[in-house]
Chains A and B, each alone.
Chain A
Amino acid sequence: MTTLIAKSPPARRRWGVSRLQRRNLMIGLLFISPAIIGMALFTIVPMLQSLYYSFTDYNILQPPYWVGLENYEDLFDDRVFWIGLSNTLIMVFLALPLHIVFNLVMAFLLNSKIRGLAIYRTIFYIPSITPVVASAIVWMWIFNGQYGVLNEILGWFGIQPIGWLTDPDWVKPALIFMGAWFGGNTILIYLAGLQEVPADLIESAELDGANAWQKTWSITLPMISPVIFYTIIINIIGYFQYFTEAWVMTANREGAAGGPANSAMFYSMYLYQNAFQQLKMGYASAMAWILFVIVLIVTALLFFTSRYWVYYRSEDN
């Protein structure tokens, strides 16, 4: 930093801004112009448009027709909307914490200096990069109530066959189980975080007589709390938009999806059906905006609480 200031030419100031600063502003904006154009074209304008559509009746073929709050009122009485919302919230508030804790435990285990780490790492990572559709096909077959290998294996332990994809009570557990398989990359993110925890911190705690729990609670977890926070944010957004896994597992040739008794009907699936199967663009836009507001509230709450549990090392960069 000091060298940079020393080497900078003496700035001639005019209106409080030096020529160098103005030149840098121009060049800087030029470099990031794709981002600015992209944000305007693919984010801000469509956002405002969908807000407008949410107050209209719009089927693409005829121009949008203003209906005020009607879409929102109709949603309030729409049973499937509430099913989709509650299913999605179950994923966010049940599957997500399970996902975080499970992956954290796995990362801790892998971090205990075991041999063959590279092999384990590869095994846990690969499912997360396989195409969801390709993997879901084998999962459908594994979960099959009649011919599925999962029921066969559970049968060895005397467990009665379960209709994983046909029993409304078991569809979500099946999806969460499959989701864990797809989410092994989080283990690697935590593992990378754990390996960054300075060894001397742990050693000095040991010298002070800290036991394993104390070391974990007072040093390791706080040190990787930013990583945990990051994965929570990324996964929350992912779970609110939960679509592909459930769609692939439940959609049939008529385009109906959602599993038995809508037990696997998630918010984004119902939104997709309204928008692209029934061409109720206004209705679907209202759904999108409700989702957006919920995501905003949840992430804002997370960011707000983060100051109480996320520990940032004061870094120079």
Chain B
Amino acid sequence: MHRLAAIILKEFNQIKRDKRTLLLLIFFPAFLLLIFGYAIDFDVKNVEIGVLDLDNSKESREFIEKFTLYDHFILKYHLNTFKEIDYYLDSGLATLCIVIPEDFSDELKQGDNVSIQIIIDGTNSNVGMTVLGNLRAYITDYSNNLSANALKKVGIHKEPVPVELIPRVWYNQELKSAKFLIPGLIGFIMMIVCVITTALSIVREKERFTIEQISVSPIRPHELIIGKTFPYMIISLITMILIIILGIILFDVTIKGNLIYLFVTSLVFIIGALGLGMMISAITDSQQVAFMVSIIVTMLPSIILSGFIFPLNSMPKIIQFISYIVPLRYYLVILRSIILKGSGLISFWDQLIYLTIFSSIMIIVSSIKLKKIL
């Protein structure tokens, strides 16, 4: 007990003295949160559109005006010639151009089918798809209203649409991507912080040869391992709480689920990440190399292969298969279940088992590896 306490105390003293790292541990996550929270936004809003109204009638103006009632679109440019469409799309000033034909109002009055031309900048496929979807919905709505009115005129008061869609969005009602990203961000930041701090703290002892002095003492390997990782576990938990508080303040995140579940599952994940950090420290000899390896092992897979940003379901089978070795994948499902859905153990017990397996393997293998250098 005395030996374990001595190591923990020493580790905290060193952390306390290393102000730069301490600040980094606190501000780096906050910084990432701001960057990811504000910059990564899959919501397509404020699409600037140009309109070439060849009809210039009461009906066409009404049609256009209705666009602006949606906050998806901003009517920015009134065009006069087809040439101008090329210019506005090429220069990126407008994402979308609408052409209303000369006979728009006449055809409508006669009850004929009217065609409207829409030209979308498809460079960003995501934005293009979303805009197209929004437009379809808007125009269907508009047409249905017209048909209903027309039917009313002839005395038929019937629902014009046989099948109607009544959408209810659960969990993230406003469909905000920031809310979806925050649980992932918590996992992502914890992964990086845990792995790097642990790896560096042990490699630093190797670099300065203090590890030799420790290995001459009668300290047991498990005491050293627990003593060295415990302080970083505490720091990681503080970091997590900090991110959550920032998420609540800045992005209206609410934790719908049980805080105890959140705490326990996070602990399992943190232990696994600390184990990974120890593993890196066992196989590297300098802080620089350990840092590089930690970044490569944590950053890329956690961003790309965990479902943090890109949905795993739409990836090729082989890549989905590789993603099973990325621990964040499991933790993410758990975090999203608890924070966004507020669901219980029933919805993530399998993920928790995988995560526990991962953490156990990490701790066992890294302990064996570290024992060899002690």
A binds B: no
Measured CB to CB, the residues of A under 8 A from B are none
